[in-house]
């Protein structure tokens, strides 16, 4: 059985007839008193009328005062119920007789007002937390309209202020399907999202149904960018595949030579000598590969630790040039040094030796046609823009220059990738592992340095290392 609540009376001026009626009712005691006096004492008619008029006016004023107090009290309660900030409650003289009813209601209204203020504060706190989240967060209603987007969402997807259609923010069938499933069946879900504007980016989108509080259902859509994790995983897979391929190739050659020496070439002295020489080269190549892999692993482990040694680069470069000079001479390459006085740098001597050793070794191997390799070093009070993060700072510049065939420009950005080669056949022929420049990059990262590569076909290549000067 249902009941319909009666509408609350308006707080306007009271009806005059009702006011007169209430005044006459209030004047009944006075009329009774006058009647008694009339019966027991002799009163003139004008005295009787005057007494009745005074009683009626007094009752009227009392009724009017009561009505004003009740109206004031009711207005205060309504302000409190409407979450407005109300002053102290009025003094309800007229309701003292009804205090057992009025004051519990008043306390209930106060509790309701406190609860609403607390809920509003919690809502503001929640909105502030969502706004401060670094990941994009959207609140979507049943009409597929984004009713709320935090700062990261507006900045990342160039959204204007206010409400926008979901399709304006995210154009992806998988996200639309997950949102509609959450709105229609209350089903949570996760999908992968690649923005149309940048397919290299990838987000994990989490969709959760929520109650919007106004009888409607909505969806919280939270995005977590995972581009870096995907790239790391891809690099790991590529590294494992490349390393396996680099090891498998010489192993297959060794196995084939061993089978040949055990079979058809068992008694062929000339073939045995030739196969043994090739097997030694392949074994040496695998040894270099394993050494470079171990070296790269050690460098990556130590990459977060700042080196503490004080290194004099002219001495280190001179010793290295003398060590590599016999190898260069066998290739018909002359080493030239042009070393200016240099301030000390803070670094790891073994790693810097390996860094410049790899650059010189590459210059001799791949620039042999130029017949010379030049090493230049100088101190810079202000590094040029090509020095990357060291631009504008005091730095030391060391350049390893060859005058060989040069490198096609499309290959230069990828030279420091692991196992990347411009000419794979030539790299294997000269004994390269494809890890030398990757090692250089990671050593420089630990030393807060930078590598700049310039090359021109037919004229040679220039590999320039920038290292920060030790602060005094």
- Domains of the chain in start order, with CATH, are 16-118 (no CATH), 133-225 (3.30.450.20), 231-301 (1.10.287.130), 305-472 (3.30.565.10)
Q: Which of 448, 460, 438 shows the shortest CA–CA distance to 355?
A: 438
Which pLDDT belongs to residue 122?
Answer: 81
User: Which two structure tokens, joined as six digits, stand for 319?
Assistant: 């010793």
Which pLDDT belongs to residue 454?
Answer: 92
Distance CA 160, CA 75 (A): 41
Q: What average pLDDT does this structure show over 88-111? A: 59
Distance CA 409, CA 35 (A): 122
User: Which two structure tokens, joined as six digits, stand for 146?
Assistant: 């984004």
Asked whether the beta carbons of 254 and 279 are under 8 A apart, the reply is yes
Q: Is the pLDDT of residue 385 over 80?
A: yes
More confident residue, 458 or 63: 458
Lookup result for tokens 């979507």 = 140
Which pLDDT belongs to residue 378?
Answer: 92
The three-state secondary structure class of 244 is helix
In tens, the pLDDT along 427-455 reads 566 556 678 888 899 999 888 899 999 99
Which pLDDT belongs to residue 7?
Answer: 43
Asked whether the beta carbons of 313 and 342 are under 8 A apart, the reply is yes
Average the pLDDT over each of 36-45, 86-95, 232-241 and give the range with the smallest value: 86-95
Sign of CA dihedral 367, 372, 378, 380: negative
In tens, the pLDDT along 324-369 reads 888 888 888 898 999 888 898 888 888 898 899 889 988 888 888 8
Residue 390: CA atoms inside 13 Å, Cβ hemisphere, count?
Answer: 27
Mean pLDDT, the chain, rounded, equals 78
Q: What average pLDDT does this structure show over 280-290? A: 80
Distance CA 112, CA 83 (A): 9
Give the pLDDT band (50/70/90) at residue 462: very high
Please work out, in degrees rounded to the nearest 5, the angle formed at the alpha carbon of residue 295 by the alpha carbons of 244 and 227.
65
Asked whether the beta carbons of 246 and 434 are under 8 A apart, the reply is yes
For residue 160, what are the contacts with CB-CB under 8 A and spacing of at least 6?
none
Q: Quickly count helices (H) and strands (E) in the chain.
A: 12, 13
For 180-275, list the strands marked E by DSSP: 189-193, 203-211, 217-225
Q: Is the pLDDT of residue 32 over 80?
A: no
Q: Is the pLDDT of residue 14 over 50?
A: no
Which pLDDT belongs to residue 86?
Answer: 53
Q: For the CA atoms of 208, 212, 218, 223, what is the dihedral angle to 10 degrees?
A: -50
Which pLDDT belongs to residue 76?
Answer: 66
Q: What is the DSSP letter of 307?
A: P
What are the angstrom distances between the C-alpha of 85 and each of 73, 81, 119?
15, 10, 15
Give the pLDDT band (50/70/90) at residue 5: very low
Q: What average pLDDT does this structure show over 71-92? A: 59
Which pLDDT belongs to residue 13?
Answer: 45
More confident residue, 173 or 70: 173
Distance CA 187, CA 192 (A): 17
User: Which two structure tokens, joined as six digits, stand for 440?
Assistant: 């250089």
For residue 313, what are the contacts with CB-CB under 8 A and spacing of at least 6?
342, 344, 345, 352, 377, 396, 398, 467
More confident residue, 379 or 87: 379
Q: Is the pLDDT of residue 35 over 80?
A: no
Distance CA 374, CA 337 (A): 6
In tens, the pLDDT along 127-181 reads 888 888 888 899 888 888 888 888 888 888 888 888 888 888 888 888 888 888 8
Asked whether the beta carbons of 113 and 80 are under 8 A apart, the reply is yes
**Largest Cα–Cα separation, the chain:** 165
Q: Is the pLDDT of residue 16 over 60?
A: no
User: Which two structure tokens, joined as six digits, stand for 68?
Assistant: 């004003």
Which pLDDT belongs to residue 51?
Answer: 67
Distance CA 130, CA 28 (A): 67
């Amino acid at each position: 059985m249902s009941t319909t609540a009666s509408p609350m009376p308006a707080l306007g001026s009271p009806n005059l007839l009702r006011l007169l009626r209430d005044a006459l009712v209030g004047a009944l005691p006075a009329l009774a008193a006058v009647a008694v006096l009339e019966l027991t004492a002799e009163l003139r008619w004008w005295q009787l009328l005057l007494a009745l008029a005074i009683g009626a006016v007094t009752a009227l004023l009392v009724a009017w005062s009561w009505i004003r107090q009740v109206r004031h009290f009711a207005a205060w309660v309504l302000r409190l119920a409407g979450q407005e900030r109300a002053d102290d409650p009025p003094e309800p003289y007229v309701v003292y007789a009804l205090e057992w009813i009025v004051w519990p209601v008043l306390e209930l209204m106060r509790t309701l007002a406190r609860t609403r203020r607390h809920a509003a504060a919690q809502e503001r706190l929640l909105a502030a937390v969502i706004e401060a989240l670094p990941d994009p967060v959207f609140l979507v209603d049943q009409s597929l309209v984004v009713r709320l987007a935090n700062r990261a969402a507006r900045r990342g997807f160039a959204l204007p202020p206010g409400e926008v259609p979901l399709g304006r923010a995210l154009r992806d069938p998988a996200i639309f399907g997950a949102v509609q499933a959450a709105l229609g069946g209350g089903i949570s879900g996760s999908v992968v999202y690649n923005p149309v504007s940048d397919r290299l980016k990838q987000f994990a989108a989490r969709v959760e149904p929520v109650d919007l509080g106004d009888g409607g259902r909505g969806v919280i859509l939270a995005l977590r960018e995972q581009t870096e994790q995907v790239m790391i995983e891809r690099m790991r897979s590529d590294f494992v595949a490349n390393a396996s391929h680099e090891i498998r190739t010489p192993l297959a050659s060794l196995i084939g030579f061993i089978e040949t020496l055990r079979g058809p070439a068992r008694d062929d002295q000339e073939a045995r000598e030739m196969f043994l020489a090739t097997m030694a080269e392949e074994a040496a190549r695998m040894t270099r590969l394993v050494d470079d892999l171990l070296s790269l692993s050690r460098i990556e482990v130590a990459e977060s630790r700042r080196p503490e040694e004080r290194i004099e680069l002219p001495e280190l470069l001179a010793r290295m040039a003398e060590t590599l000079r016999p190898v260069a001479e066998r290739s018909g390459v002359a080493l030239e040094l042009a070393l200016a006085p240099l301030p000390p740098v803070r670094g790891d001597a073994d790693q810097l030796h390996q860094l410049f050793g790899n650059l010189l070794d590459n210059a001799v191997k791949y620039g042999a046609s130029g017949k010379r390799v030049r090493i230049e070093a100088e101190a810079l009070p202000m590094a040029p823009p090509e020095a990357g993060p060291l631009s504008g700072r005091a730095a030391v510049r060391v350049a390893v220059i060859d005058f060989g065939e040069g490198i096609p420009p499309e290959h230069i950005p990828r030279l420091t990738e692991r196992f990347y080669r411009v000419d794979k056949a030539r790299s294997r022929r000269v004994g390269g592992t494809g890890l030398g420049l990757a090692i250089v990059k990671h050593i420089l990262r630990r030393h807060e340095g930078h590598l700049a590569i310039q090359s021109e076909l037919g004229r040679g290549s220039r590999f320039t290392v920038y290292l920060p000067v030790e602060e005094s």
